[in-house]
Chain A
Amino acid sequence: MHTPDSNLDLAPVGLDQFDRNSGNALERLLFNHRLAIIVLCLMVTALLGWQASHLQLNASYEKTIPSSHPYIANFLEHQEDLSGLGNAVRIAVANGSGSIYDANYMETLRKISDEIFLMPGVDRAGMKSLWTPNTRWIGVTEEGLEGGPVIPDGYNGSAQSLAQLEANIARSGEIGQLVALDATASVLYVPLLAQLPDGSALDYETLSQQLEDIRSRYEQGNISIHITGFAKIMGDLIDGLYEVVTFFLLSILIVTSIVYLYTRCFVSTKLVVTSSLIAVVWQLGLISALGYNLDPYSMLVPFLVFAIGMSHGAQKMNGIMQDIGRGAHKYVAARYTFRRLFMAGLTALLADAVGFAVLLVIDIRVIQELAIAASLGVAVLIFTNLILLPILLSYTGVSKKAAKRSLCAEESEEKALLWRLLDNFTRRGPAMAAIAVAVVVAGLGYWGSTQLKIGDLDPGAPELRQDSRYNQDVAFMADHFGASSDVFAIMVETKGSAGCANYEALRRVDALEWQLRQLPGVVATNSLALMNRRVLTGLNEGNPKWFELIKNQSMLNFVTASAPRGLYNDACSMLTLFVYLADHKADTLTRIVDHVEAFAAVNNTHEVTFKLAAGSAGIEAATNIVVKDAWRDMLFMVYGAVILLCFITFRSWRAVVVAILPLMLTSVLAEALMVALGMGVKVATLPVIALGVGIGVDYALYILSVTLTRMQYGESLSAAYQHALSFTGKVVLMTGMTLAAGVSTWVFSVIKFQADMGVLLAFMFLWNMVGAMVLLPALGHFLLKGKYEKPADSEAAGFHSNPTAVHGG
């Protein structure tokens, strides 16, 4: 590649010939005080490493919801009153071999019930199982009501006492609640305390481990145990986080291997890994110092930082290798490489940082924290991999063999073959073909992306995989207990003397409930209005003809007083209308939201106000609304930022178009891929597009800047592109691979959204690379040819701040 007429490459010189006062002020500052810089970095590393050791893993649910959305504000305002949504765990104990009316089954159930009862954090008064005394049967008699615990007096496991148990359960109203519809399982309903008696907060991780312990001890023979509930999701998420830490080690291994295979220099590969890991330590230390935890989202940032660090580091190494291979002293090589690549690297890293920072506008805390963590991480890389690494390399150099090899490889046949192949795209025919293919693919992708849905599309807990143990347990509950895990809660604020029992409030709730039950996707509802209908039936000897909400305030007051808590708050100033859904797809949620909003608009009065939204589905509805708005906003902003950055770099709209169009194709295809993989736009996929575009533009920055510089100096597009490829092509290839490899390990995460992010990011990193290498020359043929192929005095006409064009001397 080293053409004799090129005045862009710095002549390889020995240390004695090198002018230490050459280069810009920053270079002189850094390289003339190498030791001080290294000591400083060591100190910072020690300090931040100490900080990082205090970092905690945390899976906070509150942070994943858009807290300033009015729905969420309503929810947070009434959180204390929403005991009906309670933080409870449901444990189904199933008898695979038959029904629950089996002495062995009942004995196992008793042991489990006793153990759970004694577990710290369990609200013992509220806990219910067939064995707790609060599970009672009720019968109507001529004199009134009679009842007792479902476990008969003197239960001894005999056929007779089991028959009595069955009769008691039949009149307990617990079939479909505590007892499965097909009587093959029963549930332990375990409400949890927010605080332990000693005042400490409930530890989901410990609780989840205790539950798993019970599961492992009792799940044998025919007995199977199924556990659902928010606390269990949290426990499983935290388990997943620990697992992801091991993925990080795997990523390090893979990325290191790629870099080593590329360089074949053990010493320098070690240095690149070290400086990238230092960046990770700094990043973790900084977020710890800023008071953040590692959550399932920000946990992924170290992977990105490491992979980006590796690709930039490898580039430095590549430069130094080539210079050493050409005979330069390692110190001189390091300085030349710094001189050549610092600005390009800085621009690329700044583009990344801007891409991440754009995410700050999204009003969801995990995304904002992800944005901060990622921006910090990339900023840190400027110090570790653009400054510290070349300084370290100036001490160690690279192995001579590897240096020689790098030059040989560069000019080797097979490598040149690929570059020549790619060079074809600078010519008219292939360029048109490539663009035609891209247009068709973009069209198809766009058509596919129109199917893109907002929200999470799979049943069960969206955080976890569909085939996870947890979601299998959710499916079990749905099958055997008709229980929906997607609850949409509507809060109804009531004022006035009768409060929540007010007929005017109840009749509105009653009517809305009936309307909602006619909507597709609504499985069931529950409210104090429905409870009134049921209790009135009960008060009239169970005769179903009394199934009505009657206009009789004293009767409503009487019924309300005896109704279970959860349907209204302690102060009787708020009712909750629970809507159980078949799924939490965006269409279903939108239908509910639209209907309730319309209803509230005409039926809210001074005394009765309908407010959205609580419950897992209600919060998801609010999140969907925020995510949907953020999706387009974020695309505009991240593209705006990248376009601006490209324009500043290239000072040419044509070059900006050449750089941006391949990115846009990738974005469209990523959306189509989401459709194909059944992923919706959700909190987890929002940052992916920003990251993909922000990091993806790096490739274009590298290739295009060299190409343009060369063209400016009179080379043809083809020659300039060839030049750019031989200079940066290898690095671009390697960057694409290291980034994709770095994030691809997420695919194995038990946390579904991490896996989704991994797939999407890996796709975007690789496709952006292909786009940059194929479409960039093709677009260049139409947009740059003639425009830039002119003699060397084109400074004024084109650009002047090409970061790669650090002139020699």
Chain B
Amino acid sequence: MKSFPRKLFASVVVAAMAGAVMANVIAESAVKPLAESDSRPALAVNHAEHATILDLAQAGKRLVAVGERGLVLWSDDSGQHWNQASVPVSVTLTSVTFATPQQGWAAGHYGLVLHTTDGGQSWSVQLDGSQAAQKVLQQAEVDITADENRTTKRALSSAKRLVADGPDKPFLDIWFANPNDGLVVGAYGLIFSTSDGGQHWQPINRQLDNPGERHLYSIAAANGTVFLAGEEGLVFRSTASQPWQFERLSTPYEGSYFTLSAHGNQLLAAGLRGNAFVSEDQGEHWTELQLPSQASIVDSDITADGRLLLINQAGQLISSASNGQKLHMLASEPGLAPTSLLSINRNILLISGLQGLTEIAITNDQISSN
């Protein structure tokens, strides 16, 4: 069970800037009065190796990583060198996805959705928390005019509260099926859809049976079906798209699912305290996975050849053999504090964490030997 973790950034980031220039840029940041973080461009960082990175994505061959305070990094050489993207906000970004090598979206706190058309090098704001809250309120007002009942009344008062609270709620995952159709989910049951590449976002909360307004943590899709997962054992499966319809699935666990992965008919839901369940029939029936620790699982993946990959907060990277549920540990790096994983190829995994990025190389014979 050997693996070869390699802390990235040895040759470090922000290749475009020399150290001295860098220091000036940072010095300049001090002389401007501080704007709110959702309208303040992300600071050029000097020490990305100490930054919290929360999600990873591939844009064609390019790797893109997002994290705290508007930090977006991209690499064209499989993570050897990283460049910092130009981002108009300094808000923690929780999720990133690409529909094409050029078209990508990132979601984050303060109800923000960002968009890139150049493969992640520069970003612009598509949706912010205030707009999002207004849209929820408008929708609730439309709904209550159409049919005034307990549900719509409650939705309206909740929407008013959302507007009053201001943009303090995060989006936690974003997903696009193609350059047009996408979904973004977040705290307190927030969910928005778009069918024009994010130019317009519509709240679709009422399509979800989520009266407790529980957080939605993850989106996964396979074979045209979209799945959502969140707190209190919530898992939803789409029954129609444009307009979206979802049904709630029953799962064996009442706690939070932080991550959801889908491939073919396979579905993997995992989260708090090492609870992980796999379904071979799109979520109808579930089997519990026996994990080596009770550490919460923060991310998962099902590879093209059907291997399950899970990573937990204890830094344990757990995998199954192809199409099997027998698990084994690929790596255990307690110092890693992982947040997300990405299979760059069969042999190399990119792990993001509270302290930057790490690559873990896995040799083929290890996998076949298991």
Asked whether, in the complex, the Cβ of B52 is within 8 Å of the Cβ of A543, the reply is: no
Convert A536-550 into 0s and 1s, putting 1 for each residue whose CB lies closer than 8 angstroms to a CB of B: 000011111111111
- Contacting pair B170 A181 (CB below 8 A): no
Which chain A residue lies CB-closest to B233? A142
Known A-B contacts A170-B314, A515-B30, A541-B256; A550 and B45 likewise in contact (beta carbons under 8 Å):
no
The SS class assigned to the B binding surface is loop
Residues of chain B contacted by A508 (CB below 8 angstroms)? 34
> In the complex, are the beta carbons of A547 and B68 less than 8 A apart?
yes
A418 sits at the interface (CB 8 A): no
With a cutoff of 8 Å between Cβ atoms, the chain A residues found around residue B69 in the complex are: 514
B26–A548 touching, CB < 8 Å? no
Query: Is B168 an interface residue, CB under 8 A from the partner?
Result: yes
What residues of A have a CB within 8 angstroms of the CB of B27 in the complex? 594-595, 598
Stretch from B73-81, B88-96, B136-144 that touches the partner = B88-96
CB-CB < 8 A to A522: which residues of B?
47
Return the contact of A545 from the options B22, B172, B254 (Cβ within 8 A).
B172
User: Is there a chain B Cβ closer than 8 Å to A551's Cβ?
Assistant: yes
Residues of chain B in range 13-46 having any CB-CB distance to chain A below 8 Å: 19, 22-23, 26-27, 29-34, 36-37, 40, 43-46
Residues of chain A within 8 A of B61, CB atoms compared: none
Contact A511 B170 (CB under 8 A): no
Interface residues of B in 135-170 (CB under 8 A from A): 165-168, 170
A537-585 interface with B by 8 A CB criterion: 540-552, 555
Closest residue of chain B to A524, judged by CB? B50
Assign chain A's interface to a size class: 35 or more
Contact A544 B54 (CB under 8 A): yes
A595-B30 CB under 8 A given contacts A547-B68, A548-B92? yes
Cross-chain contact B298 with A598 (CB below 8 angstroms): no
On chain A, the residues within 8 Å of B334 by CB distance are: 170, 175
Q: Are A142 and B94 in contact (CB under 8 A)?
A: no
Task: Give B258's nearest chain A residue, CB to CB.
Answer: A543
Query: Is there contact, CB below 8 Å, between A518 and B314?
Result: no
Contacts of B179 in A (CB 8 A): none
Within B321-366, which residues are at the interface with A (CB < 8 Å)? 334-335, 337, 339, 354
Which A residues between 53 and 96 are near B, CB-CB below 8 angstroms?
none
A550 B43 Cβ-Cβ under 8 A: no
Docked-complex contact B23 and A519, CB < 8 angstroms = yes
Q: Which residue of A lies closest to B298 (CB)?
A: A544
**Interface membership of B105, Cβ < 8 A:** no
Q: How far apart are the CA atoms of A361 and B318 in the complex, in Å?
A: 68
Could you tell me which residues of chain B, from 156 to 203, have a CB within 8 Å of some CB in chain A? 165-168, 170, 172
Closest CB in chain A relative to B316 CB, distance in Å: 11
Within 8 A of A (CB), among B44-74: 44-47, 50, 52, 54, 68-69
Q: A514 touching B273 by the CB < 8 A rule?
A: no
Residues of chain A contacted by B52 (CB below 8 angstroms): 544, 547
- Of the listed stretches A201-209, A399-407, A599-607, name the one at the interface; the rest are far from the partner chain: A599-607
Residues from 233 to 286 in B contacting A, C-beta threshold 8 Å: 254-256, 258, 272-273
The reply on A136 being an interface residue by CB < 8 A is no
Q: What 1/0 flags go to A489-515 for Cβ under 8 Å of B?
A: 000000000000000000110111011
A-B contact count (CB 8 A): 122
Partner of A548, one of B19, B91, B166: B91
Considering the complex, give the chain B residue whose CB is closest to the CB of A595: B30
Docked Cα-Cα span, A540 to B254, in Å, equals: 15
Bound: A254/B285 CA distance, A: 93
**Cβ-closest chain A residue relative to B255:** A142
The contact of B272 among A142, A511, A533, A544, by CB within 8 Å, is A142
A515 touches B43 (CB 8 A): yes
> For B320, what are the chain A residues with a Cβ–Cβ distance below 8 Å?
none
Q: With the chains together, A602 CA to B50 CA distance in Å?
A: 27
Contact A507 B37 (CB under 8 A): yes
Closest Cβ of chain A: how far from B34's Cβ, in Å?
Answer: 5
- Chain A residues lying within 8 Å of B123, measured Cβ to Cβ, are none
The complex places the Cα of A140 from the Cα of B312 at a distance, in Å, of: 14
* A517, CB-defined interface residue at 8 Å: yes
**Is B109 within 8 A of A518, CB to CB?**
no
In the complex the two chains form, what is the Cα distance from A240 to B32 in whole Å?
49
Taking the closest CB of chain B, its distance from the CB of A198, in whole angstroms, is: 46
Q: A141 at interface (Cβ–Cβ under 8 A)?
A: yes
Q: Are A602 and B31 in contact (CB under 8 A)?
A: yes
Bound-complex Cα distance A543 to B294 (A): 14
Collect the chain B residues with CB atoms within 8 Å of residue A98's CB. none
Cβ distance A492 to chain B, nearest Cβ, rounded Å:
13
Chain B positions within 8 Å of A524 at CB level = 50
In the complex, are the beta carbons of A515 and B29 less than 8 A apart? yes
Query: Is the beta-carbon distance between B34 and A595 smaller than 8 angstroms?
Result: no
Indicate which residue in B44, B47, B298 contacts A543 across the interface (CB closer than 8 Å). B298
For A517, give its contact among B50, B215, B314, B335 (CB under 8 Å).
B50
- Chain A residue nearest to B94 (CB atoms) is A545
Contact of B46 among A142, A170, A518, A599 (CB under 8 A): A518
Which one of A142, A552, A596 lies within 8 Å of B165 (CB-CB)?
Answer: A552
Chain B residues positioned under 8 Å from A549 (CB to CB):
37
Is A443 an interface position by the 8 A CB rule?
no
Residue of A542, A547, A599 with highest tally of chain B CB at under 10 A: A547
For A543, what are the chain B residues with a Cβ–Cβ distance below 8 Å? 217, 256, 258, 296, 298
Q: Are B167 and A551 in contact (CB under 8 A)?
A: yes
Complex contacts, A541 vs chain B, CB 8 Å: 256, 272, 296
Whether, in the assembled complex, B110 has its beta carbon less than 8 Å from a beta carbon of chain A, the answer is yes
In the complex, which residue of chain A has the Cβ closest to the Cβ of B173? A545
Q: Which interface residue of B26, B166, B215 has the most chain A CB atoms within 10 A?
A: B26
Is A520 part of the contact surface with B, judged by Cβ < 8 Å? yes
Whether a CB of chain A sits under 8 angstroms from the CB of B97 is no
Residue of A nearest to B37 (CB): A507
A143 CB to closest chain B CB (Å) equals 9
**Minimal Cβ-Cβ distance residue in A for B313:** A542
| Alpha-carbon distance A111/B341, docked complex (angstroms) | 45
Closest-by-CB residue of B relative to A549 is: B37
Tell me whether B54 and A547 are in contact (CB under 8 A). Answer: yes
Known contacts A514-B69, A519-B26, A603 near B168 by CB under 8 Å: no
Q: Are B217 and A595 in contact (CB under 8 A)?
A: no
| Cα separation A508 to B33 with both chains bound (whole Å) | 10
Residue in chain B with minimal CB distance to A510: B37
Q: How far is the CB of B206 from chain A (nearest CB, A)?
A: 25
Distance, CA A518 to CA B54, complexed state (A) = 19
CB closest chain-B residue, reference A508:
B34
From 514 to 536 in chain A, residues with beta carbon under 8 angstroms from any chain B beta carbon are 514-515, 517-520, 522, 524, 533
- A175: which B residues are within 8 A, CB to CB? 334
Looking at the complex, which one of A507, A519, A540, A591 makes contact with B34 (CB distance below 8 Å)? A507
Residues A520 and B168 in contact, CB atoms below 8 Å apart: no
Contact partner of B254 among A139, A142, A602, CB < 8 A?
A: A142
B37 / chain A contacts, CB cutoff of 8 Å? 507, 510-511, 549
* Chain B residues closer than 8 Å to A512, beta-carbon distance: 30
Whether A550 pairs with B23 at a CB distance below 8 angstroms is no
Please tell me if the beta carbons of A598 and B31 are within 8 angstroms of each other in the complex. yes
- Assess whether A547 is in contact with B92, with CB atoms less than 8 Å apart: yes
Contact status B32-A602, CB under 8 Å: yes
Instruction: Give the shortest distance, in Å, between A130 (CB) and chain B (any CB).
Output: 18
| Sampled A-B contacts (20; CB under 8 Å) | A140-B272, A140-B296, A170-B334, A507-B34, A515-B43, A517-B50, A518-B44, A520-B46, A524-B50, A541-B256, A542-B313, A545-B217, A546-B170, A547-B54, A547-B92, A548-B170, A550-B170, A552-B165, A591-B23, A594-B27
- Hey, which bits of chain A sit against chain B, CB under 8 A? 139-142, 170, 175, 181, 507-508, 510-512, 514-515, 517-520, 522, 524, 533, 540-552, 555, 591, 594-596, 598-599, 601-603
Instruction: Show the binding face of B for A, using Cβ within 8 Å.
Output: 19, 22-23, 26-27, 29-34, 36-37, 40, 43-47, 50, 52, 54, 68-69, 90-92, 94-95, 109-110, 165-168, 170, 172, 215, 217, 254-256, 258, 272-273, 294, 296, 298, 313-314, 334-335, 337, 339, 354
The 5 A-B pairs with the shortest beta carbon distances in the complex, nearest first, are A598-B30, A548-B92, A518-B46, A599-B30, A552-B168
A-B contacts besides A142-B273, A170-B314, A591-B23, 5 pairs, CB < 8 Å: A140-B273, A142-B255, A514-B69, A545-B217, A599-B30
